[in-house]
Chains A and B, each alone.
Chain A
């Protein structure tokens, strides 16, 4: 069992331009709404800002929000990025180019095509020396990212930023995927109780998960988004944090699952230190 405190959160999705807006949607106080383009990150130099695609902007905006809320300097904050598709629009453009023999790729297109492009721009923009990791785990990207980030926080005894993002694939790559809106979520996981934590999670991996544990968000209005975007598998956790509710759920990782228990942290009292897991 791994235990971590959620020290900060960031969200971008339809009607969810940042945590405050997302919180209202997750609490059922506002409609899901229309997708909006994420802003260009102010921490990137102008020439790099021009080079990043929409999917990377999506990642950077939530990573920045979560790190700011956790009051962590991104320069020395460990990070784990997780995305199924990476920059799918760019991958499509490259595949079209490669489809015609003899047509050259652009160097910028190529180096931006690495799956860890968002992690790269995050660390470049913040002159970060802290380790950054990047996972690509299809529909299990959030489950795998959460497991890896929590294990890293527990092992290294340092906070870890998890940033999970996915923009829909363009045609024809989208043929075998449920269509959905762009969505990204980031959390800063702290191995210790911290002031202002939004909640405490305990998680483990189950190879034979109990089908009775839910995975979808409570609100029916969120379920299409949850089903249509791998990053939106974070919605059940985000919903529990927004409601300040105790919860337990399982996020599918192939035929296994990452089981998560959430306990709210009272905002007016510091969390009592608890024994660490053996």
Chain B
């Protein structure tokens, strides 16, 4: 597994930030926008893609490439390629906006006479959703099937489900699973239009929480039928069937997704020792998720949101928080929500607001997206 976010490059930087409770959120300084705070990754502008797939150059693919080169991930995939063959490893990646920033810039450089975009702008290799999957597949020298999943903020959590289906059906033997979403005006302005951007750094689960901070991240995992380390024990999916941008008020979709993941893993709720919440930091989202988590787990299972460190990394949040969940297991840590002065008194689930040393064996991670898409993943040690 590998991850790049505002916490830093690679898992060691992430673990260090989590232990030190050091947030990566800073006042927004991106794309001429200054509203709220963002979790911006440093060094994306300077990062150069390798020569072969350089036609894919855009902020999103640079971010993805930074993650591929961290934590020895590309070398681990190269070894898997030797084992299985390049055609037997799929690429299944999630993104909500891919390289749309490149089209935003291109629209600001249109020909004033004809309205044409600059001739150098390659929509298919930058803006298009498939750009990410194609880039990752080319950069890793793979020849298996490639899928870009774009299901809003559940995208890269859904990627785990899609990869599981491909492996289970025998289409491939392993899959590079993950995702990337990078800062762009579309999401910064769009969430501002919905009045969901917090003026200060986001503080999920606080009584006075007032919205999200947007972050960017890329992270990947190699999913195999058998392997060492943390395993994907269960996946659960559902739809709210309720509203495009507001969660079901009783959290029925979230409850269904969490229970489906438990069912697949063959686990009782009490077997889960930590829940990494979707926990975006908006008043409605966190309240609904608390209700759903309490319904499934009661007040016995510690849970928290780590978006106070990274911001909401949108389509990348599923994989980023999957990597955090694996760190919690391997490095024996339960991170408590950052910046919570007063925990929302209406919450009934066991929300952590300080770090706790513990050795969880099984962890759930939630991701919920616009359109009412819900996905819960369970990671754990195989014993």
Say yes or no: A119 contacts B169, CB within 8 Å.
no
The chain B residue sitting closest to A208, CB to CB, is B87
In-complex Cβ contact of A133 among B123, B162, B164, B245 (8 A): B162
B 207-251 binary contact with A (CB < 8 Å = 1; else 0): 000000000000000000000000000000111111111000000
- Tell me whether A155 and B143 are in contact in the complex, defined as CB-CB below 8 angstroms, given that A110-B194, A120-B373, A127-B241 are known contacts: no
Of the stretches A28-36, A99-107, A240-248, A263-271, the one at the interface is A99-107
Say yes or no: B150 contacts A116, CB within 8 Å.
yes
- Tell me whether A137 and B130 are in contact in the complex, defined as CB-CB below 8 angstroms, given that A111-B370, A120-B373, A123-B240 are known contacts: yes
B27 interfacial by beta-carbon distance below 8 Å? no
- Tell me which residues across on chain B come within 8 A of A86, comparing CB atoms: 129, 150
- Alpha-carbon separation in the docked complex, A206 to B186 (Å): 37
B300 interfacial by beta-carbon distance below 8 Å? no
Number of A residues with CB within 8 Å of any CB on chain B: 71
- Tell me whether A138 and B130 are in contact in the complex, defined as CB-CB below 8 angstroms, given that A112-B244, A119-B151, A124-B242 are known contacts: yes
Say yes or no: B129 contacts A116, CB within 8 Å.
no
A143-175 at interface with B (beta carbon < 8 Å): 144, 147-148, 150-152, 154-156, 171-173, 175
- Tell me which residues across on chain B come within 8 A of A106, comparing CB atoms: 193
B 117-155 binary contact with A (CB < 8 Å = 1; else 0): 100001110001110011001000001111111111000
Contact residues on B (Cβ < 8 Å of other chain), bracket: 35 or more
- Tell me whether A144 and B239 are in contact in the complex, defined as CB-CB below 8 angstroms, given that A106-B193, A133-B151, A134-B151 are known contacts: no
- Tell me which residues across on chain A come within 8 A of B383, comparing CB atoms: none
Say yes or no: A101 contacts B32, CB within 8 Å.
yes
A 178-201 binary contact with B (CB < 8 Å = 1; else 0): 000000000000000000000000
Say yes or no: B164 contacts A84, CB within 8 Å.
no
- Alpha-carbon separation in the docked complex, A151 to B172 (Å): 11
- Tell me which residues across on chain B come within 8 A of A134, comparing CB atoms: 149-151, 371, 373
Say yes or no: A130 contacts B86, CB within 8 Å.
no
- Tell me whether A148 and B147 are in contact in the complex, defined as CB-CB below 8 angstroms, given that A96-B107, A99-B107, A155-B165 are known contacts: yes
Say yes or no: B146 contacts A114, CB within 8 Å.
no
A21 interfacial by beta-carbon distance below 8 Å? no
B382 interfacial by beta-carbon distance below 8 Å? no
B104 interfacial by beta-carbon distance below 8 Å? yes
Say yes or no: B123 contacts A173, CB within 8 Å.
yes
Say yes or no: A135 contacts B116, CB within 8 Å.
no
CB distance from B100 to the nearest CB of A (A): 8
Say yes or no: B373 contacts A116, CB within 8 Å.
yes
- Tell me which residues across on chain A come within 8 A of B108, comparing CB atoms: 99
Say yes or no: A176 contacts B107, CB within 8 Å.
no
Q: Could you count the A-B residue pairs with CB atoms below 8 Å apart for me: how many are there?
A: 226
- Tell me which residues across on chain A come within 8 A of B110, comparing CB atoms: 99, 172
The chain B residue sitting closest to A128, CB to CB, is B241
- Tell me which residues across on chain B come within 8 A of A111, comparing CB atoms: 190, 194, 244-245, 370
- Alpha-carbon separation in the docked complex, A126 to B143 (Å): 38
Say yes or no: A95 contacts B256, CB within 8 Å.
no
- Which residue, B32, B134, B239, has most C-beta atoms of chain A within 10 A? B239
Say yes or no: B150 contacts A129, CB within 8 Å.
no
B189 interfacial by beta-carbon distance below 8 Å? yes
Say yes or no: B147 contacts A155, CB within 8 Å.
no
Of the stretches A217-225, A231-239, A252-260, the one at the interface is A252-260
- Alpha-carbon separation in the docked complex, A12 to B158 (Å): 28
The chain A residue sitting closest to B154, CB to CB, is A116
The chain A residue sitting closest to B190, CB to CB, is A110
- Tell me which residues across on chain B come within 8 A of A207, comparing CB atoms: 86-88, 143-144
10 closest cross-chain pairs (CB), A and B: A120-B371, A136-B129, A207-B87, A110-B190, A115-B150, A131-B237, A151-B169, A123-B239, A138-B130, A99-B107
What is B's interface to A at a CB cutoff of 8 Å?
32, 86-88, 96, 98, 100, 103-104, 107-108, 110, 115-117, 122-124, 128-130, 133-134, 137, 143-152, 158, 161-162, 164-166, 168-172, 185-186, 189-195, 237-245, 252-253, 256, 369-373
Further contacts, 14 of them, CB under 8 A, given A107-B245, A115-B152: A95-B104, A95-B107, A114-B370, A114-B371, A115-B151, A129-B240, A129-B241, A134-B371, A140-B146, A148-B166, A154-B165, A172-B110, A175-B123, A255-B143
